[in-house]
Structure 1
């Protein structure tokens, strides 16, 4: 996924000491997108994660041209329980959502559930409002449909957020909580 946080500057947001580092993997991404298109892959789906956020995005043939063809779909899953309790939005959300190809962003903890059927894929972003104590209810924050042979996302559910609305509302933990207690 390409992230643009300023009109003249392409950046990849990397959470290292809360800095934003210049985007370094443009050539690799370009090779992958070229492989999809050159081989005529009908609608590739990219699954990734480990950035403590949920995201869903259209992968464009040319990220500099918002009107360019959507060649694949990307789902990024958060962690189920690491770190603090999540929130529906955090300080990076508005920067990510400024990118037209990004269709969903959320920083609650949870996972992405997929239902794969020959003619379509349904993805459900399942989230919990807290992880620092036991008993958190799970809910579906958003769902997307990707049809076979038609890359891209169609949002089919956008449910109200659960738990905290913004990350600055989250107090630090008083003491670690073990899920095994």
Structure 2
């Protein structure tokens, strides 16, 4: 299981998708001499920058309404062990709230226990490790950069941000019978 650790301070970030491959994963001290994009301008919200002497043009792509991006970092920290609570659920030591109750609240419905091969329910006495992910910052938009020209609206990364989130939401959304009848009538 994973849990999010709230940040010690709120940082607003802007992820940049560059049209190149960089074989490094992690923080880099950036000097303004090497990376200083212009502020977004115009109705299209574009920026300009240079990377190693090459002109880059960036399109600012806002996340869909109601969504916020989060930058997370894996940590070696874990929450206290989760153990059986005696009521068929798991409780994180010291939390006082059953994990099953939290899952039910998130799902909006009951959680069914699955039987294992011996016909009995899952072993609730097993200890579950809950790994912490540390929140490093949040973002409301992503900048997609192109070589010498602003990337088009049909770029795979632009479409991914603009279309995929809405598609995923529609796919996981459920409607009542009356809502479906109204949609079919339209």
TM-score calculated relative to the size of structure 2: 0.19
Richer in strand (by share):
1
Bigger-Rg structure (1/2): 2
Give me the TM-score of the superposition, normalised by structure 1: 0.19
RCO comparison, higher one (Cα < 8 Å, 6+): 2
